């Protein structure tokens, strides 16, 4: 997917977060959004993902030369952030089955087990994921983002709470989705930045 930000600004209650942000991301790229704490990296990523509207400016998206309209954007984006809420009263398998139904996808036999194995989660646990560690929950969020195989993957601090094995899982998926479309990472972590082809520094207003 091709992404273009044109003079994007965001304010909260008249307080400017950032102003006149412009960049493009092309298919095949891993693009980093960096900046000091409080500069608005996560806010900008939420705007890119259509979760938040800019106060001014425009976001544009195209897929295989065709513009993607705003109401259809969610079909083409996977989003990962440590603060995203999971259905903690359900098991990992129940979470994935429910999310697949929400996405309108039919999972073939064995697909849930294969997905869990892909991110190094156990396939035989039936207890609610509220019993999972923070790192295991972060792996679940990653699965939610890739379940529908989107052409644009957005990652906010993706290795938060992960051990070395978990980081390897994340970066393997980053490389896969670079080939599928494009990846945008909001981060200040040197390991994340090393995976990026280019970075854009947000100069927020503290």
Domain residue ranges in the chain = 2-201
Confidence (pLDDT) at 206: 53
- Residue percentage of the chain with pLDDT more than 70: 99
pLDDT digits (tens, 9 = 90+) for 89-117: 999 999 999 999 888 888 888 999 999 99
- Residue percentage of the chain with pLDDT more than 90: 80
| Mean pLDDT, residues 19-33 | 96
Question: Using CA atoms, how far apart are residues 153 and 150, in angstroms rounded to an integer?
Answer: 7
3-state class (DSSP) for residue 18: strand
Question: Using CA atoms, how far apart are residues 19 and 148, in angstroms rounded to an integer?
Answer: 33
Average pLDDT of the chain is 93
Confidence (pLDDT) at 205: 62
pLDDT digits (tens, 9 = 90+) for 43-95: 999 999 999 999 999 999 999 999 998 888 989 999 999 888 899 999 999 99
- pLDDT band at residue 161 using 50, 70 and 90 as cut-offs: confident
Confidence (pLDDT) at 79: 95
Backbone angles phi, psi at 145, to 5 degrees: -70, -30
Contact at 8 Å (CB) between 184 and 154? yes
Question: Using CA atoms, how far apart are residues 3 and 77, in angstroms rounded to an integer?
Answer: 11
* Residue 158, C-beta contacts closer than 8 angstroms, at least 6 positions apart: 80, 138, 142, 170, 174, 185, 187, 192
The CATH code belonging to domain 2-201 is 3.40.50.300
């Amino acid at each position: 997917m091709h992404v273009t930000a044109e003079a994007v600004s965001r304010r909260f209650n008249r307080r400017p977060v950032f102003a006149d942000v412009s960049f493009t991301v092309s298919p095949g790229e891993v693009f980093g959004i960096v900046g000091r704490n409080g500069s608005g990296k996560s806010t900008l990523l939420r705007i890119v993902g259509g979760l938040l509207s800019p106060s001014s400016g425009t976001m544009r998206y195209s897929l295989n030369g065709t513009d993607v309209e705003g109401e259809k954007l969610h079909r083409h984006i996977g989003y990962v952030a440590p603060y995203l809420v999971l259905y903690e009263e359900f098991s990992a398998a129940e979470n994935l089955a429910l999310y697949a139904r929400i996405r309108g996808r039919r999972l073939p036999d064995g697909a849930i087990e294969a997905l869990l194995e892909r991110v190094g989660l156990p396939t035989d646990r039936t207890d609610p994921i509220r019993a999972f560690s923070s790192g295991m929950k972060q792996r679940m969020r990653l699965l939610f983002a890739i379940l529908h195989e989107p052409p644009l993957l957005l990652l906010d601090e993706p290795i938060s709470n992960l051990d070395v094995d978990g980081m390897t899982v994340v970066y393997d998926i980053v490389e896969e989705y670079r080939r599928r479309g494009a990846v945008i990472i909001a981060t200040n972590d040197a390991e994340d930045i090393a995976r990026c082809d280019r970075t854009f520094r947000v100069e927020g207003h503290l």
